[in-house]
Amino acid sequence: MPFIDIGAKSVKNSSKTIGTSLVNIDDVYNQGFREFLLSIVLPMISTYPIIDSPIMSFTMVVILQILVYFFFINSSDIFPNLTLAICGYYIYTGSDNTGKKYFVFGRRKNIADILKSRVEAIPFSGGSENNIMIVKEK
């Protein structure tokens, strides 16, 4: 399957049909990301040496991943997305004027412009229950 680039031009075109909202971004980003990495990497390294027993190490990582997944499903924390972080996107938290909370995806290189500011954001879908958005590129 080929890689599909969803660059700024396609986001701008989509915003015309879905609409945009103004969101006040907090100074919190990638919430829970450090804890997530430490809960997976540290136990994997310290529990079983990969060289001595690779199958057991892999099994422990999978079990830990499943336990962490169930923790995130049953809590109000968001599940960190490693792929987006590697691709240069952060997850910011914010709210609109009514106080509704949003998770907003934005580029890491624009962090100085996004934190503690009011940004124009595009929802991922048109539903009223949606609280996930992406910062509109200028």
Q: Using CB atoms within 10 A of its CB, is residue 74 exposed (0-12), middle (13-18) or buried (19+)?
A: exposed
In a domain, 100, yes or no: yes
**DSSP codes of every residue in 25-75:** EEEEESTTHHHHHHHHHHHHHHHS-TTT-HHHHHHHHHHHHHHHHHHHHTS
17 and 46 both lie in a single domain: no
Q: For residue 45, what pLDDT is reported?
A: 64
Q: Which structural domain range is residue 67 located in?
A: 33-73
CA distance 134 to 106: 6
pTM of the model: 0.65
| Per-residue pLDDT of the chain in tens (138 residues, 90 and over written 9) | 344 444 545 555 555 556 788 899 988 888 877 777 777 666 666 666 667 777 877 787 788 778 877 877 777 677 777 788 889 999 899 999 999 999 899 999 998 899 999 999 988 876 667 788 889 887
Separation of alpha carbons 101 and 72, rounded Å: 18
25 and 45 co-located in one domain: no
Q: Is residue 12 in some structural domain?
A: yes
Are 84 and 131 members of one domain? yes
* Ramachandran angles phi, psi of 18, nearest 5°: -85, -35
Which domain CATH number covers 106?
A: 2.40.50
Domain presence at residue 115: yes
Per the structure, the count of domains in the chain is 2
Domain termination residue (choose one: 20, 49, 73): 73
Residue 65 lies in a domain: yes
